Chains A and B, each alone.
Chain A
Amino acid sequence: MQAEMSDVMRSSPRRDDAALPPPPAGEGWGEGVSTRDNTQEKRALSRIASSDAIRPPPQAGEVKTARGQMSRMLRAPLLLALALAATPAHAFIAYVSNEKSNTVSVIDTDSWTVTKTIKVGQRPRGIDFTRDGKFVMVAVGDDDTIQVIDAKTQSVVDSLPSGPDPELFAQDAAGKILYVANENDNTVTVIDLEKRARLGDIQVGVEPEGMTISPDGKTLINTSETTNMAHFIDTSSRQIVANVLVDARPRFAEFKHDSSEVWVSSEIGGTVSVIDPKKHEVIGKVTFEIPGLRKEAIQPVGIGMTKDDKTAFVALGPANRIAVVDVASRKVTKYLLVGQRVWHMAFTPDEKYLLTTNGVSNDVSVIDVAAQKVIKTIQVGELPWGITIAP
C-alpha cells in the first residue's frame, strides 16, 4: 500500500486542477521529516518533466520492471536456476534502522529482499557492525541506550551504557572503544566495548551528532549541530585539540581513506566542508545546484567515499538525490534520483553497490557504483534512517 502510494507520488506530475485535495503530505514525523518534502519533489519533477532538456530517470517504472522480471523468473524455473548460477557468490547482509517503526530491517544483497525485521528500542538511528562482524550496534535514542544485535541469531542480545539520546557513534580501529554522540547533553560518551562500561565523557558543542575516527585512530571528529563546528578530539588524551567552524547544522563527518581530508556535511547550510585535519582549516567546499529545485531543499547529510578516494557520494535529504562528487576537484559530476528524504548510505564490501536509506518513501535505493545508476528499490520499515553492511 505504502509502496504503491510512494510510487504514484514520485511518478505522476502534480495537477493544479485536481478536484480533490492532494493526499496529506508528510506521513512521517521525527527529526528531519518535513511535510513539504513530497511537495518539493513533485514540483521539481513536474518542472523538470516540462522541460525536454532534462528528464529524471523513470524510477517508478524501473521498480516495476524489476518486479516484473522477478515474477517472470519465478514462473520459469529453468531461467531461475540460470539466474542463480550467474549470480556472484558474495551475498552481503545489510541492516537498516527504521526510525519510526522501531525496527531494523535485514536485507539480503543477493535477492535484494528483506529477510527479517527485528524489533528494537525506540527511535533507532545510528547503526554499525562491530569490527569482528559478529554484532550490530544500533542507537535507540528515545530509550537512551545502544542495543546490540547478534548477527547470527538476528535478535537483540545486549545493550550499552550510552549517555542520553545517543544518535551516531564511531569505534576505534581495534573495535574496543566506542564513542557516542549524545544529543541531549552536549557530550561524547566513551564506552569500553568488551567490558560494556562507560569510561568517561567529553564536553563538546550544542547537539553533538556526526562522529568519525581518523584511519590511524588518533583523532576523533565530532560535529555539533547548533554550535556549527567540527571538534577534533585527541583519542589518547580525550581532549579537544581544535574546533573548526563549518556551515549550519553539521550532521556527518567522513575521512578520506588516505587521511588527507575530512568531509563534513552541513544540512541547513547546504554544503560539504572539506577540512585539512592537520591544519584544522576548511580548505574547500562542495556546493550543489539542481535545476528546478530550490536551494533550501538541498540538505546534505550522509557521505560515502570509495576506497580509492576518487569518488564521493553525498545524500541530499529532501532533494531526493545522491550527488556523485569527484573528490579531487570537489565538483559534482552527477545527481542520482533516489527515494524521498535520503539520509545515509553504505557500500557493499566489494564496493559494487551503494545502498541509501530514504526516510519519507520508506525504502532503500540500490546504486550500481560503477555504472552510477539506481538499479533497485527495496521497501523497508517506516522512516528508514541508518544502514550498515556486514564486513
Chain B
Amino acid sequence: MIRWLVGLIGWSLAATSALAADPVTIGVGYLGIAGTRSTLSLVEQPAENDGVAGARLAIEDNNTTGKFTGQRFTLEERRIREGEDAVQAATALAEKNGFIIADLPADALLKVADALRERGTLLFNAGAIDERLREADCRANVIHTAPTRAMLADALGQYLVWKKWSRWLLVVGSHDEDKLFADALRRTATRFGAKIVQERTFEDKGGARRTDSGVTQIQRQMPVFTQQAPAYDVLVAADESEVFGAYLPYRTWDPRPVAGSAGLVPRSWDASQDQWGAIQMQNRFIKLNARRMTALDMQAWTAVRMIGEATSRTNSGDVKKVTDFIKGPDFSVAAFKGTRLTLRDWNLQLRQPILLVDGRMVVSVSPQEGFLHQVSELDTLGYDRPESKCKLK
C-alpha cells in the first residue's frame, strides 16, 4: 500500500514537472500595407503574403522549439489600406502583441515607433531599406532586419571591384528612391575605387508595365538610350521603382553586363540560395506557403526568429527582458548565411552577408575577399560606427 502510494506521488510529481505550467504565450504582430507593387517582370511580382509568409514559418519554427520550452508564439497580421492611419492600426496591434514586425515606408514607421515608445513595444523593420532610419532618424525601439541601401550598394560594389569591372555607367530613374539608391552607389564607388564614367537619367513618363505590343519598342529604345557612352565595364542601374531596369540586360548598345536593380542584384535572400543548410528552410517554406521565399520573407523570418532565440535564451516572454537580451552583447542569430548575425549596437541594424543574384543563381556573397575590418568584415557593408549619425533614443 505504502509502496503504491509512494509510486502514485512519484508519478504525479513526474507528470507535473513534465507538463509544467501552461505555456507562456508570446504575441507577434505583423503590420504591412495592403496591396502589392507592380514589377516589370511577371516572375518577380510579389505575392499578397510577401513578408508575412516568412514570419509565419518562423512562428512555426519557434513553436517547435516552444514545445520544449513551454512557449507558444502567435501571429496577428494587420494590413493598412489607403487612407487608414498607421498609428491607429499599430496601437491596436500592440494591445495583444509585445513585438511587431513592420513592413512600412520610412515615415509611417517613424510615426508608429514614436507612438509605441511609451508602451515598450519592440518593432522590427523588415521592409524599409532607407539609410535615415539607421542614421539621423534612428530609434531605440526599432531593430532593422532589412539591409540598407548602402549595404546593398557596397555588397555589389565590392564584387564589381573584385571582378575588375571598375568603370561604371550609372543609369538612374527619376523617382526619389531611385535617386537614393544612386547616392548609395556613388558612395560605394568612392569608397572602393570604382569610377562612374557617366550618369544618365531614365525619365518615368508613366504608362503601363504590360502592353499587348510587348517588347518591340523596348528592343529599339534601350540600345538607343545606352549608345555613345564613354568606355565602361558594367552598366549599373538604380531603378527601385521598376520602370526600366529589367529592360536593360541584353539590350545595351555596347555588349556589357548590367548590375544594380537588374542583372546582378544585391539582396538579403534569394529563392536559389541553398548554401549553409538553407535548403532545409527553403523546403519548409515551400511546404508551408506553396511558393518560393523572397528577401522580404527572409527579413521577416529573421525578425521572428530573433524573438524566438531571445525568448528561449532568457526563458521568458517578458518584452523588456527579451528586448534587453536582443540589444545585449551576447545576442546572435543563425540565419543560413554561413555566419552568426549580430546587431550593430550603435543603430540596431542587423549585420548580414548580402547575396548577389541573377534571378536563377547566387553568383557571389559579399563581403568579398580582401575587404578587411578590425571588428567584423560584415561592417565593410554600409555605414560604420565612426561615420554614424545615429543617437539612439
Residues of A bordering B, CB below 8 Å: 14, 16, 21-22, 25, 29-36, 38-39, 42-43, 165, 183-184, 186, 205-207, 224-229, 231, 240, 243, 245, 248-249, 268-270, 294, 296
Contact assessment for A36 and B365 in the assembled complex, using a CB-CB cutoff below 8 Å: yes
Q: How far is the CB of A55 from chain B (nearest CB, A)?
A: 21
Known contacts being A16-B370, A38-B369, A184-B280, is A227 close to B64, with CB within 8 Å?
yes
Known contacts being A228-B312, A245-B312, is A206 close to B65, with CB within 8 Å?
yes
Could you list 8 further interchain pairs (A-B, Cβ under 8 angstroms) beyond the known A268-B339, A269-B332?
Answer: A32-B276, A43-B372, A184-B283, A205-B65, A206-B61, A245-B312, A248-B309, A269-B340
Contact assessment for B68 and A268 in the assembled complex, using a CB-CB cutoff below 8 Å: no
Residues of the B chain whose Cβ atoms lie less than 8 Å from the Cβ of A240: 68
In the complex, per-residue mask of B276-298: 1 if CB is within 8 Å of any chain A CB, else 0? 11011101100000000000000
Contact assessment for B276 and A21 in the assembled complex, using a CB-CB cutoff below 8 Å: no
Task: Say whether B37 faces chain A, with CB atoms less than 8 Å apart.
Answer: no
Of the A-B pairs whose beta carbons lie under 8 Å apart in the complex, a sample of 19, sorted by A's number, is A21-B162, A21-B164, A30-B275, A31-B276, A31-B279, A32-B277, A34-B365, A184-B284, A205-B64, A205-B65, A206-B61, A206-B64, A207-B277, A207-B280, A226-B305, A231-B68, A245-B312, A248-B340, A296-B377
Q: How far is the CB of B371 from chain A (nearest CB, A)?
A: 9
Interface size of B as a range: 35 or more
> Roughly how many angstroms separate A326 CA and B305 CA in the complex, as a whole number?
35
Residues of the B chain whose Cβ atoms lie less than 8 Å from the Cβ of A183: 277, 280
> Roughly how many angstroms separate A165 CA and B334 CA in the complex, as a whole number?
21
Task: Say whether B364 faces chain A, with CB atoms less than 8 Å apart.
Answer: yes
Residue of B nearest to A20 (CB): B164
Task: Say whether B338 faces chain A, with CB atoms less than 8 Å apart.
Answer: yes
Residue of B nearest to A18 (CB): B370
Task: Say whether B274 faces chain A, with CB atoms less than 8 Å apart.
Answer: yes
Task: Say whether B205 faces chain A, with CB atoms less than 8 Å apart.
Answer: no
Closest 5 pairs between A and B when the two form their complex, measured CB to CB: A243-B68, A39-B369, A227-B65, A268-B334, A34-B338
> Roughly how many angstroms separate A183 CA and B276 CA in the complex, as a whole number?
13
Tell me which residues from 297 to 314 in chain B have a Cβ below 8 Å from any Cβ of chain A: 305, 309, 312-313
> Roughly how many angstroms separate A174 CA and B279 CA in the complex, as a whole number?
34
> Roughly how many angstroms separate A63 CA and B98 CA in the complex, as a whole number?
59
Residue of A nearest to B283 (CB): A184
In the complex, per-residue mask of B320-346: 1 if CB is within 8 Å of any chain A CB, else 0? 000000000000111000111000000
Known contacts being A30-B275, A33-B275, is A228 close to B65, with CB within 8 Å?
yes
Contact assessment for B369 and A25 in the assembled complex, using a CB-CB cutoff below 8 Å: yes
Residue of B nearest to A22 (CB): B369
Known contacts being A186-B64, A243-B68, A249-B334, is A29 close to B274, with CB within 8 Å?
yes
In the complex, per-residue mask of B53-92: 1 if CB is within 8 Å of any chain A CB, else 0? 0000000010011001100000000000000000000000
Contact assessment for B370 and A29 in the assembled complex, using a CB-CB cutoff below 8 Å: no
Residue of A nearest to B305 (CB): A226
Q: How far is the CB of A247 from chain B (nearest CB, A)?
A: 9
> Roughly how many angstroms separate A93 CA and B281 CA in the complex, as a whole number?
36
Contact assessment for A29 and B68 in the assembled complex, using a CB-CB cutoff below 8 Å: no
Residue of A nearest to B65 (CB): A227
> Roughly how many angstroms separate A108 CA and B5 CA in the complex, as a whole number?
62
> Roughly how many angstroms separate A174 CA and B66 CA in the complex, as a whole number?
35
Q: How far is the CB of A133 from chain B (nearest CB, A)?
A: 32
> Roughly how many angstroms separate A249 CA and B336 CA in the complex, as a whole number?
10
> Roughly how many angstroms separate A30 CA and B362 CA in the complex, as a whole number?
12
> Roughly how many angstroms separate A207 CA and B367 CA in the complex, as a whole number?
27
Residue of A nearest to B313 (CB): A245
Contact assessment for A14 and B61 in the assembled complex, using a CB-CB cutoff below 8 Å: no
> Roughly how many angstroms separate A183 CA and B377 CA in the complex, as a whole number?
30
Residue of A nearest to B338 (CB): A34
